[in-house]
Chains A and B, each alone.
Chain A
Amino acid sequence: MATRSACRALERRFASAAAAAAAAAAARPLVAEVRSQRNAVFSREQARQRALYPRIEKIEVSMQGPGLDGTLLVMNRGMSTPLSCARHLTEYHVNNSVLALVDGEPWPLHQPLTDSCSMTLLTFKDSDPTLANQAYWRSCAALLGQVLQTAFKDDYTVELLSTPEVPVTSGAFCCDVALDPQLDSWTPSEESLRSLTKGAQQLIHKDLPWEPLEVAPSVALEVFSHSRCKQEEVEEKAAQHPKGRVTLYRCGDHVLLSAGPLVARTGLCSQYEVTALHSLGQGPWGLHRRAQGLSLPLQLQAHHTVWRKLRQRAEKLVEVSRLEEAAPPSPPDSTPPPTSQ
């Protein structure tokens, strides 16, 4: 008797467990499927863009910079990237260049050159590294987004919202994310933040390049066909861009969208820590959360005392005021609205 009821209870328990497992199994391939689909579309588009130049055509790139003024390099159209130009120079240029300025326009290091131009390689130690700093901050936020996407179990959906453009003086880069409604009551402990940091450090250690790809909005919409939020972001970015095209970046097997140029590879970051995850309140996609982090590049490492102080500041919430609303800066953490002149 008792054993039969016990057996029945056990059966019921196993049945429910099996049902849950089946449901989980249904959800699990979805995430991997999405990732592989995005990858496939990205690779297809990349191959198509490369095939636009079947014959090798030469272009002339004149280098500008300290000690390089006027050096003329003859490169291939649609195939050579600023990184390949750097490889023609020295190892220092390969390891230390962050971004390229092609005819005054910031150009990611892995994007192929299309015309004869004059190029400057930017590093973190120039007399004016503002562009490099902004690109680095954006790349760290993108890395944080990638870590968050892959950190959670497949039962929980993670929706990456647009990463806000934060100036470097605010102390931390942010990545806005909307987690699964099941996790609404979850606040991250120090251990979870540390495990996120470890995930980021693993990515940094792999030294993956951020491959850029400039695509038409239709392709981008196809890439993000599973995510309505991302599609809206694509439309926004396409509207802002002068030519109506959207730049996608791929790091490893994660495809992402970014407002501006990103740094060449993940190996350029050295000290990287995820400092906090603040809840901002309900948004259109669920509980809006802001993940913050702090990072420094390989060439500008900080002493541990300085790092500790900066990290303590990075735990505080960074508030971002949008360009459209000229909000007066009230709380001490808010970034003052940039004067649009």
Chain B
Amino acid sequence: MRLTLRALISHGRVARKMGLGPESRINMLRNLLTGLVRHERIETTTARADEVRFYAEKLVDYAKRGDTDEKAMKMASFWLTEKDLVPKLFNVLAPRFETHSKGYTRMARLPNRENLDRAKMAVLEYKGNPFPPLYPVKKDNELTLINQLLRGYREDRAQQLATKA
């Protein structure tokens, strides 16, 4: 009988292992983050998207400090491998999320990849991007009988309130 457990318990370590090692993991995340800042919506495996999410939000927090801040500029230039995205980060993304305190990204699951590995895929996006929404809002048809009756009812009430006021 087996007297030892297989070592699949993480014992509180939250960082995933990705790629060839810790440096490879950071490089991979850096590439993903650059792609995210450039395109504002990317498709990857669920694990990678989940890892990048933390770094994406932290990057926006740094960008909110402003590009005059030394630390913020260093972080931006380290994490964004394509240097033309650094002005985009400070001038487009930071003002967009001025009113948000956290939650600048959105993640949604996709169907599994078509390859042999059938990997779990996810789409990660910065909120406020120009693409059509990930969860489209289905609008009720305004012309159905019941909606027309309700429209008449609402107009009637509005008229009544106007005459009463």
Question: Interface of A with B (CB < 8 Å)?
Answer: 124-125, 127-130, 132-133, 136, 168-171, 294, 296-297, 300, 302, 306, 309-310, 313, 332-333
Given contacts A169-B155, A171-B156, A332-B163, contact A306 B145 (CB under 8 A): no
Of B105-113, B130-138, B146-154, the one with at least 4 CB within 8 A of chain A: B146-154
A133 near B156 with CB under 8 A, answer no
B160 near A296 with CB under 8 A, answer no
A300 near B146 with CB under 8 A, answer yes
**Separation of A313 and B159 alpha carbons in the complex (Å):** 13
Question: Interface of B with A (CB < 8 Å)?
Answer: 141, 143-146, 148-153, 155-156, 159-160, 163
Contact of A127 among B141, B145, B155, B159 (CB under 8 A): B141
Interface of B is mostly: helix
B152 near A171 with CB under 8 A, answer yes
Q: Can you list 13 A-B pairs with a CB-CB distance of less than 8 A? A: A124-B145, A125-B141, A127-B143, A128-B143, A129-B143, A136-B145, A168-B152, A171-B149, A296-B146, A300-B146, A313-B156, A332-B160, A333-B156
Shortest CB distance B62–A (Å): 48
A332 contact set on B, CB distance < 8 A: 156, 159-160, 163
Contact of A309 among B141, B153, B163 (CB under 8 A): B153
Ranked 10 nearest A-B pairs via Cβ: A169-B152, A168-B148, A332-B159, A133-B145, A300-B146, A171-B152, A313-B153, A169-B148, A310-B149, A300-B145
Q: A169-B155, A171-B152, A296-B149 are in contact. List 4 more A-B contacts (CB 8 A).
A: A130-B143, A296-B145, A296-B146, A300-B146
Q: Output the nearest chain A residue to B163 by Cβ-Cβ distance.
A: A332
A309 contact set on B, CB distance < 8 A: 153
**Separation of A229 and B148 alpha carbons in the complex (Å):** 33
Q: Output the nearest chain B residue to A335 by Cβ-Cβ distance.
A: B152
Shortest CB distance B86–A (Å): 47
Shortest CB distance B162–A (Å): 9
Shortest CB distance A195–B (Å): 25
A168 contact set on B, CB distance < 8 A: 145, 148-149, 152
**Separation of A53 and B149 alpha carbons in the complex (Å):** 44
**Separation of A309 and B151 alpha carbons in the complex (Å):** 12
Q: Output the nearest chain B residue to A314 by Cβ-Cβ distance.
A: B149
Q: Output the nearest chain B residue to A313 by Cβ-Cβ distance.
A: B153
**Separation of A168 and B146 alpha carbons in the complex (Å):** 9
B150 near A306 with CB under 8 A, answer yes
**Separation of A133 and B160 alpha carbons in the complex (Å):** 26
**Separation of A171 and B155 alpha carbons in the complex (Å):** 11
B152 contact set on A, CB distance < 8 A: 168-171, 313
**Separation of A124 and B141 alpha carbons in the complex (Å):** 11
